[in-house]
Amino acid sequence: MGKIEVMSENLANKIAAGEVVERCMNVVKELVENSIDAKAKEIKINLIDSGVKEITVIDDGIGMDRDDAVLAFSRHATSKIKSLEDLFYVDSLGFRGEALPSIAAVSLVDLKTCNGEKGTEVIIDGGEIKDVLNSDLKKGTKITVKNLFYNTPVRLKYLRNLYTELANICEYVNKMALSFPGIRFVLTNNEKVLLNTTGDGNLLKVIGNVYGIELTKKMIEINKSNDDYELSGYISYPECARSAKSNINILVNGRAIKNQEINRVILDAYHTYIPEGKVPIIVLDISVDPILIDVNVHPTKMDIKFSKMDTLKELITSAIKEKLESINLVPNIEHHYEEVEYDYHSDNESKPLEVKETKEENVELRLDLDDNVAVSDQEVVYNEGKEEVDTNRIKKMYPVGVVDATYIIAENEDGMYLIDQHAAAERINYEKFLDKLSKHDNTAIDLLVPIKIEMTNKDFIILKEHFDILTNMGFVIEEFGINTVVIRSHPYWLPPAKAEDCIKKIIDIIITSEDFDNEKFIDRVAAGVACKASIRAHDVISKEDMEDLLERIRTVKNPFTCPHGRPTIISYSFYEMEKMFKRVKD
């Protein structure tokens, strides 16, 4: 007798469950997607113990009749596709017909459904249908999944702790609520409401439900399209950046997806606006003809393939950059106040405020800003030759003081500003150096005294291999003894007083670069040299230098952050200051 046998359908479903159902979130995902495909307008997800003990999903969709309710638990039974051609034009969230039988194979399932005519209840234990009954449900579907993996204890022990399971479910339901603002989502765990949206189609309201009301004030609406794709949604101000990459919500025809390539495009568009390691909050809906995407890549359908990916990346980049470059991004400090009692000393005198003295020393200002600094195209325009109109993104600011020889205090008709003098100078120099490097301006100046740099043998070997990079930038570099080089000329735009520090930084970038993509390389060089060349914190500068710095920061393309994404300017409105001093009431 042969050794090969066809396994039972129940066993096959248990094996398939390992791919489709890995944790509680997968169960919620499959059931919620079925509800959405059933045209539900309200979906309630009720959990007990983060779904490990029980998951119930209730919807008001079209429901099923008796025959379909039973057939739904057969493997590869689906109403979504009927032919091979349908795979190339999938517009539903589910279509494989594997979810329900896989879930039923490793749990206890009670399904109640009604298509508006007659209700049906199907009871399943470990993949086997135990009973089919009439149900009193009027319309829609209610499915309860209990004791997940009760009959496969090996998988049960690999479930994470309850908090992790619940966090994963919350993340998924949040994304679905953002994907379908026209559907009301209610999520509870042990009868505690975790999410409750209105379902009125207002995406900004859903963002408020998920992220909080304060964040909605700092979201920017985007709408842009080309011949193949249409973008809509919201992007956050750079100041709202967070650490978790899950805050980038990418939706394709309503389907929440994960795509590393799109994530990289978004982060590149925010380059220098946010610190490295942070991500903006994004809700980006991509509408596209289903023929241009392939969702049949992975059982979870979270990853998809795009045709014409280059045009999509260009569209996303331009949409985000246009918005970021068109608005004022200076963070406005807002305070939330509580009633407090002031503590006075026994002599009825309040404790005096300690004031830090600034060291009186002469420090040479090293802004290193020349008349060739790169500025925005929108600098100053004239109205019929009569009246000068300021079109810079920040209004003119007037310095009135300095704190800790680091933060310039300025004012204008809108309020008070604090400017980080190093970050502001760094941004100005970064854009200047980036402009010179991008134009391949390699005009050099000869050094009266060459600069000698020693290094390890490993670093010397790496640098020697890339001498041509320095030569193309305008350096004249030569070997000088063992593991040593001398620089006899350098590009004219390097600040003479900081030339050696800047050259060492450029050499360090060359030695540590894994690849030499030209655009990324010159960006790193511009940022690195700008940091070395700029005035530092605690450098004492004159009022004239402050005025010059404040005027120049207004003219750059991005005056709001340094090249590393730190803010250059924050503001206090007059209203906020008056609230702090109790001159006005909230």
Residue 550 pLDDT class (50, 70, 90 cuts)? very high
DSSP code per residue over 373-390: ----S-SEEEETTTEEEE
- The residue-averaged pLDDT of 377-381 equals 35
Q: Is the pLDDT of residue 298 over 60?
A: no
- The residue extents of the domains of the chain are 9-196, 218-324
User: Mean pLDDT in the chain?
Assistant: 82
How high is the pLDDT of residue 360? 36
- The residue-averaged pLDDT of 318-341 equals 77
How high is the pLDDT of residue 434? 94
Q: Is the pLDDT of residue 6 over 80?
A: no
- The residue-averaged pLDDT of 465-493 equals 92
What's the token pair of residue 522? 């010159």
Q: pLDDT digits over 138-182, tens only?
A: 889 999 999 888 777 656 666 768 888 899 999 999 999 999 999
Q: How far apart are the first and last CA of the chain?
A: 86
- The residue-averaged pLDDT of 87-98 equals 49
| Least confident stretch, 8-22, 359-373, 455-469, 567-581 | 359-373
- The residue-averaged pLDDT of 368-373 equals 40
- Tell me the percentage of the chain whose pLDDT exceeds 90: 56
Rg (CA), the chain: 31
Q: Is the pLDDT of residue 385 over 80?
A: no
Widest distance between CA atoms in the chain? 104
How high is the pLDDT of residue 10? 53
State the CATH class of domain 9-196: alpha beta
CATH fold for domain 218-324: Ribosomal Protein S5; domain 2 (3.30.230)
Q: Is the pLDDT of residue 108 over 90?
A: yes
- The residue-averaged pLDDT of 468-482 equals 92
Q: pLDDT digits over 339-367, tens only?
A: 444 343 334 443 433 334 333 333 333 44
59 vs 536: CA distance, rounded Å: 60
- Classified as helix, coil or strand, 559 is coil
Q: Is the pLDDT of residue 91 over 70?
A: no
User: Rounded to 5 degrees, what are φ and ψ at 320?
Assistant: -70, -45
Residue 305 pLDDT class (50, 70, 90 cuts)? confident
Beta-strand (E) ranges in 364-426? Answer: 380-383, 387-390, 398-403, 407-412, 415-420
How high is the pLDDT of residue 154? 58
Residue 307 pLDDT class (50, 70, 90 cuts)? confident
- The residue-averaged pLDDT of 284-290 equals 92
pTM > 0.85 = no
DSSP code per residue over 89-146: G--SS--SS-HHHHHHHTSEEEEEEESSS-EEEEEEETTEEEEEEEE---SEEEEEEE
331 vs 342: CA distance, rounded Å: 30
Q: pLDDT digits over 13-38, tens only?
A: 444 444 457 788 989 999 999 999 89
